Structure 1
């Protein structure tokens, strides 16, 4: 696989965008694949919210949790973040499943940590273990993950993250010390979810619906600008890190799980080529799978 034209094309796209990239793409029905460092360990960032979502539905399917159960979230309990509950000022009462919607659609860190208080990191790791994701492990809540970034950045705070020497010391960017996986593990999880092997059909449908409601069009979806092609996914971001995993569905029935994990050479918080290459690389991989 290492010498195939599509692998070289994907690697060239990563290099042109100024990132190192890892990718795995899987035809959910045939098992054909595209591999660009698919077994390398990667930091998941908010992609790990997908694992939490599946763990949540595991508990619901077992009768240990009710998805309509209301949960209170006071302002003092919120995690820093620009979206959802994290950005709200007043007390909120919301169902478990609506918290999951915010967690997946706008990557709400507070919603994720409220759900983790109910589910627990151990349950997330039991779920990934049950699904055979041997390289996937949750170490931190999302609040704890962001706290390590603040601690490692030091007294200069967010401003220090522009310094590449500072970003190199961030525990959050080291797969050995933070929430982690591999691209292959993530496509395995997505394929199980789309084949109704990760949960019951009803719970699988509920999870696929939430993945389809993600609002961000600038990464994986940018590679598939067609009205009849559906992209459902989950992004993840940290300083220099931009990720997305998702499933692309074509009108002819083709279903492709793709996981793309990147690390930029630049520390710039806004780097459009690094976002766009996720869609470009995913499109190259899916085109290769569809060409047979």
Structure 2
């Protein structure tokens, strides 16, 4: 049971914020407990980039709950053949060995590509897709590893390498930015996934708690968390970035018990790697959406005005994030 928020100008304000920041944005926000929702192009297919690491994390715990793997199992990461990236194991030089659950921490906290692909090698793309299909995320699909995604960017950029990514014509041909050929989802699918995790409907409660914990340890404060700069409001999330693309999905929790899943996906015509306004608008848009949901909750505690999505019944299990993405 869900109801769609009709707070005057909320969607228009979100669209205006996207325009002011120079991005095209898609958003869905969902009250985890009541099902009240607000969307801006929420069913548009988007490239998930590193946001898809959340799907991998849920699949990892799904397989662990089924007894197919042990989260304390050790994995070795030699330097040769390691998936590149600027953080975590991807940036390290020596042989590393750690548990699957510690790899999951690095994958989520600092978006470590090498850790993610080590987990994918153990879990499998098919298992990730089986998990999202089981949860009814029909628009969500993993089609490649993170190393393959980065390799396609390098190949599409051509012999000029990273310098070519300053050219909008080069960026336009990147397969990694085409939802038909890359890991993909929709904002609505991502908030459904977050809702299932926070209500212990994605996997067993002990595994749901582990997922929520690690999402709360993400270190990036410049996107979703920037919209909620309060010590008593908790934000747990996962970012995703590629040339011209900035995403984040996460859950915002208020001290009064309100819990809100938010997914924001943006693209910009600017090829600069550093665009503070494009990062910050993710937090701005999320704050407008959550404020609208909270306003609706205060003003209209009546029965739902629209039934959709066939969302499951409320769980009483706690789901508290802790940290700033």
TM-score w.r.t. the length of structure 1 is 0.99
Aligned to 2:160: 156
SS at match of 1:76: coil
Partners of 1:42 and 1:155 lie apart in 2 by 28
Q: CA deviation at 1:77?
A: 2.9
Note the 1:130-141 alignment, pairs <5 A: 130-141=134-145
> Would the aligned equivalents of 2:7 and 2:292 in 1 still touch at CA under 8 Å?
no
Aligned to 2:207: 203
SS at match of 2:282: helix
Aligned to 1:290: 294
Q: Deviation per CA, 1:134-161: give whole Å up to 9, x if none.
A: 0000011000000010010011000000
Runs of 5+ unmatched residues, structure 1: none
Runs of 5+ unmatched residues, structure 2: 297-325
Aligned to 1:270: 274
Equivalent of 1:79 in 79, 83, 101? 83
Partners of 2:54 and 2:185 lie apart in 1 by 12
Q: CA deviation at 1:113?
A: 0.2
Equivalent of 1:225 in 229, 241, 244? 229
Aligned to 2:250: 246
Count how many residue pairs are aligned between Structure 1 and Structure 2.
Answer: 292
Q: CA deviation at 1:265?
A: 1.6
- Backbone CA RMSD of aligned residues: 1.0
- Does 1:178 find its partner at 2:182? yes
Q: CA deviation at 1:3?
A: 9.4
- Does 1:121 find its partner at 2:125? yes
TM-score w.r.t. the length of structure 2 is 0.89
Q: Deviation per CA, 1:63-102: give whole Å up to 9, x if none.
A: 0000000011100131110000000011001000000000
Equivalent of 2:115 in 108, 111, 116? 111
Aligned to 1:47: 51
- Does 1:235 find its partner at 2:239? yes
Partners of 1:246 and 1:54 lie apart in 2 by 14
Q: CA deviation at 1:2?
A: 8.9
Alpha-carbon spacing, 1:286–1:103, altered in 2? closer, same or farther (3 Å): same
Partners of 1:235 and 1:181 lie apart in 2 by 14
